[in-house]
Structure 1
């Protein structure tokens, strides 16, 4: 199962109190997580405990817990220090600001046919949340994205670009741009050679290396944002000064792409000027249809209280069951005279397939 390292000071501030390792272990056990002391090597090569950090192991399908933002949000609701989960909203731009568009061209069907996108508007980065933002992307890439084979995430400084954006696929010899952290341009063919010696990027090269065309995303000025799933462009690199983030995810699995996008924007929209609001992007598909992302869909399920008790082997009241589900970020209320519950599944709970 994946693990995350959390800064104790940030964790305690978010939860509203300090915890010893034993106390936090008990809380995590009650919730269904495992925690241990964080160890790292000192200058002498010995493993020593760093008491300023905890290491938390989370279930593989709890993508909302793969960053400290999600962990604090979820545990706050569990312990009751926060009464309700935030309401996530996808909004369309107002006034003179146009809606961003991403157009998918037919050639992408040969290699990576799907794309979704969103904008985090007026975000404030600090050194800590910026690192968390990058770390979550890497955790998602290794987990639900299956090492970028199913989904690849690109994040860009929107203020350095001009929409609308184009998602295309071209022969590698026709692709040329300055990749992230490089000082000169390379063709896609040259990049494959360059990154064949890169320990971080080398594993991803086989995903597209033998394809006749490579995915490429560029803006209306032909500035390249990324060549997924390998590398972003240097031009649109985000930094601590970035205020508006354009997020694109390309994929071979559309459902997982939507989950990845929802996870990323719900976790980090808390740092936007209007917390938990995400600016929608219009994706124009190959057939001309237009879809707005992110979906951030809520759905309601009705469950039978007696049936749940029987299947789990417990005997609790409808009120107790509703309270327990609400503590797990599944807001619930008793209906039908106590025979049923209406349960709301938020967009952050992709692990809930049905009830």
Structure 2
């Protein structure tokens, strides 16, 4: 392996920690090497992929690709939303700092969002931490269409976490919005019920105080300024009997200032869930 890496301008030496470890020095001319898997790729390139035997253990093995569970969850969200009459949109993952925070009447504490070091434009400054900015920008560009506008997205958001190797992690979310002359929060809550029914999750009317089984409920969230006062809520979810309930999302009627910040002259209700809670 050291000989093959030498062909790729990488210097490999035996590690003092273990006979099974190589210490590899990365020169400044190889900025593409970011992870150990990149080094293993260079070993393969140096050896020559065409030199790998065609008849052997590998060729007799069955390698069948299967979707990741989180992607299957995303597909379930898509199918259920489409069946309810919502249209899928695919906004960009990057947005401006204002769109991710001040436009949504939120404050940046500096511990959650991943910022680009050298953004090309002010519109692509941060990686979104919620699906809402992209959905609202899509509605803004289509605000002359007939009402109501009902769209959803199933995609990734990114959060900063300095304890991780990559200093950040992706999280699969699902979000849907209803835009019309009135906010019609009951319609968005109905969509939430449809989604939960698809995942075999029952509504718990007593806010989880007596029932201990699998289910969900919503509770008012007065601290979330994105929503109209008294019209915002957290979505609680209990995955199984006796499990501790967790907050998996939010829903409510969007504040008029939020709609005005995105130049949308209508009322709207929105729901967003962490799809990975159903894995």
- The two structures have a TM-score, normalised by structure 2, of 0.29
> Which gives a bigger RCO, structure 1 or 2 (Cα 8 Å, sep 6+)?
1
Larger gyration radius, structure 1 or structure 2: 2
In terms of fraction of residues, the more helix-rich structure is: 1
- The two structures have a TM-score, normalised by structure 1, of 0.24
